Amino acid sequence: MIRQLIPFDKRLSQISGVFADKKVSRYIIPFLEKCCLTNKNLFVESKLGYKNLNDWIGRSLKTEIIDEKFSQNSKLLFSPCEAYMKIYEGIRNNHIIQIKDKSYSLDDLILGDSEIYQDGIMIIFRLHLCHYHHFHYVANGEIVNFKKISGKYNPVNFLGLNYVKELFCVNRRDITEIVTENFGRIMYIEVGAFNVGSIVQNNSVGDKIKRKDKKGYFQFGGSTVILLFKKGILNPDKKYQNSNKQEIYVFVGDKIASLISKL
């Protein structure tokens, strides 16, 4: 019923994206900064001011903040973004819990064979409009596969999680597989959502990537980053081991797990 009443479709998302690129959209930035309690000292100052809403959404953290948050210890896993996080351990293909009685298939999520990630770890980072919208690489490595999957533009908030069946499987998404130095083969899944103008990627297949560098960013709106790891790679920090039951806020660069064994 909710889904029928609220037309979360591509056209409305495109309209929102066009508005966020217009100069007039900059006039709502002060309101958002006040509502979001934005700490301007964390971000690179825009000397000429923000030209539109997407310019504000895409603002960058200061280099020293990133360097401070990402320690030199490459055996530790740090959050790639600012978000509300859940960690699922021992994931099984046909029974990944979305919320309460709703579940989905990992094969359907990636539209491919998920066998190598069976019994592994899935970490879901759900970004809010107020959050820093860039997402970073968690390890050094090489991009070996990338694909875009078209889909719907459902919101990834409480409404979408509760009322849209297989939410992450029906929304549009970008999928990147990376062979990393310390964590083996991992997968990034960026999920588009209502009001997300686009998902911008900074690299392509064959590129060598470095830990803590920017992988990409979401334009206007909030959305989701999902990380997949194989079994026996990571040990989540104790304070996050029950986070599959309730989301926990993390900032980009927060330590969330450590390496069990080097591959």
Segment-wise mean pLDDT, segments of 10 residues, the chain, 263 residues: 45 68 89 85 86 89 90 90 92 59 74 88 90 95 94 65 63 93 95 74 96 92 88 92 80 94 58
Q: pTM for the full model?
A: 0.87
* DSSP 8-state assignment for residue 63: H
Q: Is 17 helix (H, G, I), strand (E, B) or coil?
A: helix
* Domain, as residue range, for 145: 2-259
Integer-rounded Cα radius of gyration of the chain: 18
Q: Provide the 10 A C-beta neighbour count for residue 217.
A: 23
Report the C-alpha gap between 99 and 91 in whole angstroms.
Answer: 15
Assigned token pair, 75: 């055996």
- For the chain, how many structural domains are there in total? 1
- Is residue 37 classed as helix, strand or coil in its secondary structure? coil
Say how far apart CA 69 and CA 64 lie, in whole Å. 9
Predicted local distance difference test score (pLDDT) of residue 11: 60
Give residue 102's pLDDT.
55
Q: In this predicted structure, what is the pLDDT of residue 212? A: 94
Distance between CA atoms of 174 and 108, rounded to whole angstroms?
Answer: 14
